[in-house]
Amino acid sequence: MVIGVLALQGAFARHIEACTQLGAKAREVRVPSDLADVDALILPGGESTTMSKLLESQGLFAPITERLAGGMAAFGTCAGMILLAGSVLDGRPDQRSFDAIDLTVRRNGYGRQVDSFETDLVVTDIAGGSFHAVFIRAPRVEAVGAGVDVLARVGDDPVVCRSGRVLVAAFHPELTDDLRLHEHFLSLTGV
């Protein structure tokens, strides 16, 4: 099994390290041909507006949409969650998303005062106690569709969600040494 990590911009390197530490092969995805031998895809944190533009200019938007429609597993963190969502609020007018999970997310939805914060979460389906989560200008989930499981919340806000083989987190699990969310994603890939 090979995990692709979208490497156009943002925090992709740590995701590759996390997969490698878990014994999975991981490779950077920068151009459409990189997708050929990839079984699952991680979309990292960074800046979703920039990633959206680069996805189009690199010709990656259509082939990734096609792979997602074909059931490829995907894990989006922070900006990656925005890219996988069905509906994006406060995005740029030309910003696109893959509509791979039925969520409405607001970019930078935690506001300027608290646009970065850390907290400990309990994540359903993940054993071993709470998970330390680092939020950086994180998206806020404002609506969750039927068929989406909420695995963790901060207050009332969903911050880890799953729908089929698509997993998203509003924070940056790759910035801590806790590999349990990546491990959970690998178990979803079914490869």
Catalytic residues, by residue number, are: 78, 172, 174
Min CB(187)–ligand GLN separation in Å: 24
Min CB(94)–ligand GLN separation in Å: 14
Q: Find tokens 């999975």 and name the residue.
A: 24
* 73 versus 79: smaller Cβ distance to ligand GLN: 79
Min CB(36)–ligand GLN separation in Å: 27
Site for ligand GLN in 17-56 (CB under 6 A): 45-48
> Which listed residue (8, 24, 40, 79) binds ligand GLN by CB under 6 A?
79
Q: Find tokens 């699990």 and name the residue.
A: 173
Q: How many residues bind ligand GLN (CB under 6 A)?
A: 11
Min CB(51)–ligand GLN separation in Å: 7
Q: Residues 118-147 vs ligand GLN: string with x where CB under 6 A? A: ------------------xx----------
CB-based contact 152:111 (threshold 8 Å):
no
Residues linked to residue 149 through DSSP beta bridges, in sequence order = 162
Footprint of ligand GLN (CB under 6 A): 45-48, 78-79, 82, 107-108, 136-137
